[in-house]
Amino acid sequence: MTDVSQASKQSSPSTGGEGFDVAKLLLEGRAFFALIVIIVVFSILSPYYLSVANFLTMASHVAIFGILAVGMLLVILNGGIDLSVGSTLGLAGVVAGFLMQGVTLTWLGVVLYPPVWVVAVLACMLGAVVGLVNGVLIARFKVPAFVATLGVMYMARGLALLMTSGLTYNNLGGKPELGNTGFDALGFNRLFGVPTGVVVLVVIALIGSIVLNRTAFGRWLYASGGNERAAELSGVPVKTVQISVYVLSGICAAIAGLILSSQLTSAGPTAGTTYELTAIAAVVIGGAALTGGRGNIRGTLLGAFVIGFLSDGLVIIGISSYWQTVFTGAVIVLAVLLNAVQYRRRSKLSASTGGQPTSQKRGKAEPANPAQGKTAG
Amino acid sequence: MTTASGTEPATGDAVLSARNVVMSYGGVHALKGVNFDIHRGKVTTLFGENGAGKSTLMKILSGVVTPTSGDIVLDGNLVSFSSSSDARDRGISIIHQELSLAPNLSVRDNIFMGRELRTRTGLDFAEESRQARALMADLEEDIDPMTLVEDLRLGQQQIVEIARALSVDSRILIMDEPTSALSATEVEVLFKVIRDLTSRGVSIVYISHHLEEALQITDYAVVLRDGAITATAEAKDIDLEWIVRNMVGENFDLGSPPTGHAFGEVALSIEDVSVTDTSGSGYSVVDHLSLDVRAGEIVCIYGLMGAGRTELLEAVAGRVPMAGGRALLEGEDVTGLTIAQRIARGLVLVPEDRQRDGLVQTMTVGRNLSLASIEAFAKGLFLSRPRERALIDDSIRKVTIKTAGGNAMIGSLSGGNQQKVVIGKMLTTNPKVILLDEPSRGIDVGAKAEVFRLLSERAAQGLAVVFSTSEVNECLSIAHRIVVMRRGKISAKFGANATKEQIMAASGEAVVA
C-alpha cells in the first residue's frame, strides 16, 4: 500500500552538487552542449575564434555578466527577481569614478583622495545598501519583488545621472603622488595570464558554490525558495534569508560595476543598461526555475558563457548587432522551453509514483479559511 | 435493511450509478470497487469520515476525475465524461466543498462564469442580473447581484456557490458539504430549496459532516468507509446511531493509549489563549482557551471544521499571533518567541496541509528530514555531510519511511510516507512537545496506525503529544485525554474511556439522546 516505485531510485537531487554524476550532467548538460556547439560552429566560421587570447578576451566580457548572474541566481533561488542590478552596476561605477576624482570637503578646505581599495569597499557597500532597500521593501513591506526592484532600478539610474549630470568620468587612473593609482588593475591586470575580472568571477563563483552547498544559509535558501511556508515552520529565518539575497545581489552588481568601469577606463551613468536581463537570461539558461528552489552555480556560469561566447562570436564573424539580438533572444526562449519540458517530466514522474505534486509554492497565500481548505471523503 | 458491500443495488429508480468504481492515486486506493446509486427525484446522502472517499466518488460522478476502473451508468446507458463541463451538459452539476468563486468578480458574474448570456453585440447583463436576483430571492438571501464576492461573508459565498449550481437547471445536483459555513436559518432555507427541487424531479446527492442535520433531508443513506460502501438504507429505517456505527466501524485497531509510564511535569501550558480571525472580521476563532499537557501524555483535540483547532495549534507554535493569553513550555513563557526559537526549546508543530506547509517539493527526502535540525550537523560555518547522512538514515529508520533512500525526491513517496517525513523532520529536533494538526489527513489506514504507534512510543519516552482530528475513531485510539473544541472553546473534556456519542455530542455534530 505504500510502495516506492523503482523509478524514483535514480532521481537525484537537483539542488546543489552531491559530487559528480553523469546522469545529472546530461540533465543539466544542455547548456554545456550548447556552449560546445557555439565554440565548434564559430571556430569553423572564423579562424580567429579558437585561440587562447580570444577566449581570455571573451571570458573577461563574460565576467561582468557572470558576476551579476551569480547574485541573480541567489535571488531567483529564493523565488524573487532583481531588476535593479544593471542600474546598481552603473551607480557603483559612477560613485567609484566620483571618488577617484577626489572628494572636496569644503568646510575643511581639503580634497580627499581615497586609495583604490577604499573606493572599492565603498562601492560594494553602496551595492549592499541598494540591495538592502530591495530586500526590506520585499521582505518587510511585502512589495512584489518585480515592482520593488523595478522602482529601485529607476532610482539608482536616476541618481547616477544626477551625480554626473549625464556625463562620464574619463580619468580613473589616479596620480602616484596622491596614492590612488591602480584602479585599472581590475580591468587590465592579469594573474597568470588570466584577466582580473575572470579571477574575480571564479572566486565569487567558488564562494557562492560553497555557500549554497555547504552552509546552513544555502540550505535555508533552497528550502525557503522551494516552499516558504514549510521552511518557516521548520524554523528557517525566511525574512533574513530573503533580505540577504538582495544584499548579496547588490554587492555582486557593485563588483561588476567596478570591473566594467576599469575595463572601459571610464565610468558612465548609463553603464549596465539592460544587463539585468542578460543576467536573468544566464540564470535561466543555466536551468534555474524562476519559481525558486531549483538551480546552481555551475549551470548559471554555463549560461553566462553561452550568452557571452555567442554574442562575441557573432561580432567576430561580422553579423549585424540587430541579428545578435535576435539570436540571443532565440537562445533564451529555447532554454526556457527546455526548462519547462524538464520540470514537467519530473513532476509527471513523481505523480506516477504516488506523490501529489499540488500546491508547490503558495508562498504568501493567506491561511486557508477553515471551511474552505479541507478535504473530506 | 442493510446490504453488504459488493452486492448489486436495485437499479429501478437509479438515475446515475457507479459500478465497481476503483480509484487509485499511486499506491493508495481511495475507492475500492464502489457501487453507488443516485435515486431519481430523491435525496441520497453519503456519510463517511474524512478520507473515506466521498469527495473522490463525487468528483468521478461529476466528471472532474476519471476513475482508474469501473463504469458510470446514466439513465441505464454506459457513459464516460470527458470533463466536468461534459457532465454539466448532461445535467449533472456539483457544489464543491472548496469554494470555486472568483472573489474579484460580482455575484452575477460568478453565477454566469463560463456560460455568459449573450446578445448579438455582447453580453446580456440585464438578463443575467434578473436571473441572479431571482436565484437570490429563491434562496431568501438579500444579496445584490452586483456585490463583489470578496465582500461577502463565507456563508453568503456558499450561497452564491449554491445559486450557481441551481442556475444551470441540472437534473442531478451533487452538494459536497454545502452547509459548512451556513447559519441555521440559511440551512433551513437550503433544505426548503432542496425539497422544492426534488418535487420537480431533480435528484440530489448530499454530503455533510453534520449528521443530524443531514438526516433531516435524507431519503436514502449510504455509508462509505475506507473507500468501500459499508451500508445502504432508506432514511425511515435508520437513526443516528446506525450511521455512526457504520461510519466509524469497529474492525480496525488504531492502537490504545500507551500505559506503564508515569506522566511527568506539565510540559505545555496554554493559558487563556485567544486568536482573532485573519480575515479581519475581529471574530475570535479561539476564545480564551486554557489547557495543560504533561510530559508523556497524549491529548486529542476533537472538533468540527472551523472549531478553531488549527488556529489554536498554529498560535501555540508561533505561526499566527495570539490576541491574548500565553503559552508556557516547561514553565517558560514562549509567547513572544519566533518559530525557530520555539523549535530550539522543544516545541514543534506538524502542520495540517503537508503539501502547502510541510514539505519542500524541490528538495530530497533527506533534506526535508534534516531541514529543522541543521544546527545538529553544522560544524562552525559549514555543514557536515557525514553527520547529516547519519541523522537522515537514523530518522528514516526510526520513523519507518519507505523510500529508496535519503536522495529520493520527496514527490516519489506515497502520501503516508510524505506525512512520516513531516513528522520525522520535527521528531529529529528532539522536541519536548509535539503538536500535530490532523496528522492522519489523506493517508491510508495502515499508515495512520503506524503514525499513531510512533507517537505512542515517543510518548512513553516522555514526549508530550497534542494532536487534532475530526475523526472520532482516532480520539479513541491512543489519546489519554480527549478535549472537544467547539466555536473556539473547550466544550468538553473526557478520559480515554469516552464514547463516540459523547464526543460527537460535545462537538455539536450529533446530539444523541
**Tens-place pLDDT, residues A76-94:** 999 999 999 999 999 999 9
10 Å CB burial of residue B139 (0-12, 13-18, 19+) is buried
Contact between B481 and B494 under an 8 Å Cβ cutoff? The reply is: yes
Instruction: Identify the sign of the CA torsion A232, A235, A239, A241.
Output: negative
- For residue A72 the three cell numbers come to 541573480
Residue of B505, B502, B471 lying closest to B486 (CA atoms): B505
- Strand ranges inside chain A, DSSP E: 103-105, 110-112, 190-191, 194-195
Decide if pLDDT at A203 tops 90: yes
Per-residue model confidence (pLDDT) at position B470: 80
State how beta strands B69-74 and B77-79 pair: antiparallel
Per-residue model confidence (pLDDT) at position B329: 94
Instruction: Tell me, yes or no, if A15 comes closer than 8 A to chain B by beta carbon.
Output: yes
- Find the closest chain B residue to A346 by CA distance: B411
The residues, any chain, with a CB within 8 Å of residue B21's CB and separated by 6 or more, are B31, B33, B34, B35, B36, B57, B60, B67, B69, B70, B71, B72
Mean pLDDT over the full length of chain A: 83
Measured distance CA(A224)–CA(A241) in Å, rounded: 8
Contact between B436 and B350 under an 8 Å Cβ cutoff? The reply is: yes
Of B253 and A290, the one with more pLDDT: A290
Highest mean pLDDT among B25-34, B210-219, B253-262: B210-219
Name the strand (E) or helix (H) holding B233: strand B228-234
The values of phi and psi at residue A235, to 5°, are: 90, 10
Measured distance CA(A106)–CA(A84) in Å, rounded: 33
Contact between A276 and A83 under an 8 Å Cβ cutoff? The reply is: yes
Q: Do B414 and A355 touch (CB under 8 A)?
A: yes
Residues of A in Cβ contact (< 8 Å) with B442: 375
Residue to test with chain B: of A5, A8, A234, most B Cβ within 10 A = A234
Residues of B in Cβ contact (< 8 Å) with A339: none
Beta bridge partners of B465: B298, B434
pTM of the model: 0.79
Which DSSP string do the residues of A172-195 spell out, in sequence order? -S--GGGT---TTHHHH-EETTEE
Query: How far is the first Cα of chain A from the last one, in angstroms, to the nearest whole number?
Result: 19
Per-residue model confidence (pLDDT) at position A259: 94
Mean pLDDT over the full length of chain B: 85
Give the minimum alpha-carbon distance from B119 to chain A in angstroms, rounded to a whole number: 35
Of B269 and A359, the one with more pLDDT: B269
Residue of B281, B277, B280, B274 lying closest to B312 (CA atoms): B274
Task: Report the residue from A1, A6, A374 with minimal CB separation from B444.
Answer: A1
Contact between A98 and A180 under an 8 Å Cβ cutoff? The reply is: no
Model confidence at B245, pLDDT cuts 50, 70, 90, reads: confident
- Strand ranges inside B40-145, DSSP E: 43-47, 69-74, 77-79, 92-95
The residues, any chain, with a CB within 8 Å of residue B217's CB and separated by 6 or more, are B43, B45, B191, B194, B195, B206
Cα-based torsion angle of the residue sequence B447, B450, B455, B456 in order, rounded to the nearest 10 degrees: 140
A residues 140..199 contacting B (CB < 8 A): none
Name the strand (E) or helix (H) holding B208: none
What is the arithmetic mean of pLDDT over A317-332?
Answer: 86
Q: Do B353 and A368 touch (CB under 8 A)?
A: yes
What is the arithmetic mean of pLDDT over A337-348?
Answer: 67
Of A364 and B368, the one with more pLDDT: B368
Per DSSP, the three-state class of B105 is coil
Of A201 and A348, the one with more pLDDT: A201
| CA distance to B107, B142, B154, per residue, from B146 (Å) | 6, 12, 17
B residues 438..457 contacting A (CB < 8 A): 441-442, 444, 446-447
Residue of A242, A241, A276 lying closest to A256 (CA atoms): A276
Of B2 and B68, the one with more pLDDT: B68
Percent of chain B with pLDDT over 70: 93
Q: Do B381 and A375 touch (CB under 8 A)?
A: no
Per-residue model confidence (pLDDT) at position B274: 92
Amino acid at B464: A
Measured distance CA(A219)–CA(A208) in Å, rounded: 12
Model confidence at A124, pLDDT cuts 50, 70, 90, reads: very high
Decide if pLDDT at B80 tops 50: yes
Measured distance CA(A204)–CA(A53) in Å, rounded: 23
Decide if pLDDT at B161 tops 90: no
Residue of A114, A65, A128 lying closest to A284 (CA atoms): A65
Q: Do B361 and A294 touch (CB under 8 A)?
A: no
Highest mean pLDDT among A11-20, B18-27, B327-336: B327-336
Per-residue model confidence (pLDDT) at position B510: 54
What is the arithmetic mean of pLDDT over B255-274?
Answer: 88
- For residue B419 the three cell numbers come to 506525512
B173 half-sphere exposure, CB direction, 13 A CA radius: 28
Beta bridge partners of A56: none
Per-residue model confidence (pLDDT) at position B249: 67
Task: Report the residue from A8, A366, A373 with minimal CB separation from B408.
Answer: A8
**Tens-place pLDDT, residues B47-59:** 887 667 888 898 8
Highest mean pLDDT among A130-139, A159-168, A364-373: A130-139
Residues of A in Cβ contact (< 8 Å) with B403: 4, 8
Residues of B in Cβ contact (< 8 Å) with A210: 382
Amino acid at B296: G
- Find the closest chain A residue to B47 by CA distance: A377
What is the arithmetic mean of pLDDT over B213-219?
Answer: 88
10 Å CB burial of residue B119 (0-12, 13-18, 19+) is exposed
Q: Do A222 and B367 touch (CB under 8 A)?
A: yes
Helix B240-248 crosses helix B500-507 at what angle (to 10 degrees)? 110
Decide if pLDDT at A371 tops 50: no
Instruction: Tell me, yes or no, if A214 comes closer than 8 A to chain B by beta carbon.
Output: yes
Instruction: Tell me, yes or no, if B311 comes closer than 8 A to chain A by beta carbon.
Output: yes
Instruction: Tell me, yes or no, if A4 comes closer than 8 A to chain B by beta carbon.
Output: yes
Residue to test with chain A: of B21, B357, B388, B419, most A Cβ within 10 A = B357
Measured distance CA(B150)–CA(B147) in Å, rounded: 8
Give the minimum alpha-carbon distance from B497 to chain A in angstroms, rounded to a whole number: 27
Decide if pLDDT at A161 tops 90: yes
Per-residue model confidence (pLDDT) at position A29: 72
Q: Do A371 and B444 touch (CB under 8 A)?
A: no
Contact between B358 and A232 under an 8 Å Cβ cutoff? The reply is: no
Give the minimum alpha-carbon distance from A364 to chain B in angstroms, rounded to a whole number: 11
Of B142 and B301, the one with more pLDDT: B301
Q: Do B409 and A8 touch (CB under 8 A)?
A: yes
Measured distance CA(B70)–CA(B60) in Å, rounded: 10
Instruction: Tell me, yes or no, if B430 comes closer than 8 A to chain A by beta carbon.
Output: no
Contact between B244 and B225 under an 8 Å Cβ cutoff? The reply is: no
Q: Do B362 and A373 touch (CB under 8 A)?
A: no
Lowest mean pLDDT among A279-283, B50-54, B157-161: B50-54
B residues 176..195 contacting A (CB < 8 A): 176-177, 180-181
Per-residue model confidence (pLDDT) at position B306: 75
**Tens-place pLDDT, residues A19-75:** 455 655 555 577 888 899 899 999 999 888 889 999 999 999 999 999 999 999 999
What is the arithmetic mean of pLDDT over A255-279?
Answer: 92
Task: Report the residue from A12, A226, A235 with minimal CB separation from B407.
Answer: A12
- For residue A44 the three cell numbers come to 569553423
Give the minimum alpha-carbon distance from A124 to chain B in angstroms, rounded to a whole number: 23
Give the minimum alpha-carbon distance from A163 to chain B in angstroms, rounded to a whole number: 40
Model confidence at A216, pLDDT cuts 50, 70, 90, reads: very high
Task: Report the residue from B53, B57, B407 with minimal CB separation from A13.
Answer: B407
Decide if pLDDT at B512 tops 60: no
The residues, any chain, with a CB within 8 Å of residue B419's CB and separated by 6 or more, are B354, B358, B439, B442, B443, B447, B451
Contact between B510 and B472 under an 8 Å Cβ cutoff? The reply is: no
Per DSSP, the three-state class of A55 is helix
Per-residue model confidence (pLDDT) at position B27: 58
Model confidence at B212, pLDDT cuts 50, 70, 90, reads: confident
- For residue B129 the three cell numbers come to 442580473
- Find the closest chain A residue to B366 by CA distance: A13
Per-residue model confidence (pLDDT) at position A194: 86
**Tens-place pLDDT, residues A171-188:** 887 778 777 778 888 778
